[in-house]
């Protein structure tokens, strides 16, 4: 069985755009590796649906 992000678009027809590279998969953040930077500005998301 093929596994991993490269094949997520094959698991469910609603996820087919994952295979075509037009949508990004969720970001897998490791809380143990996250660093706080007090100098970063606010994140502005303008095209999120």
Residue 34 above 70 pLDDT?
A: yes
Q: Give the whole-angstrom CA distance, residue 23 versus residue 49.
A: 13
What is the per-residue pLDDT across 9-29, written as a single tens digit (0 to 9) for each?
A: 888 888 877 777 655 656 778
Q: What is d(CA 18, CA 40) in angstroms, rounded to the nearest whole number?
A: 30
With beta carbons less than 8 A apart as the criterion, state whether 48 and 41 touch.
no
The answer to whether the Cα torsion of 15, 2, 28, 23 is positive or negative is negative
pLDDT at 5 over 80: no
- pLDDT-above-70 percentage for the chain: 80
């Amino acid at each position: 069985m093929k596994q991993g992000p490269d094949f997520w678009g094959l698991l469910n027809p609603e996820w087919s755009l994952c295979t075509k590279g037009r949508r990004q998969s969720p970001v897998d953040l490791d809380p143990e590796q996250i660093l706080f930077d007090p100098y970063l500005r606010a994140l502005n998301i303008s095209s999120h649906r």
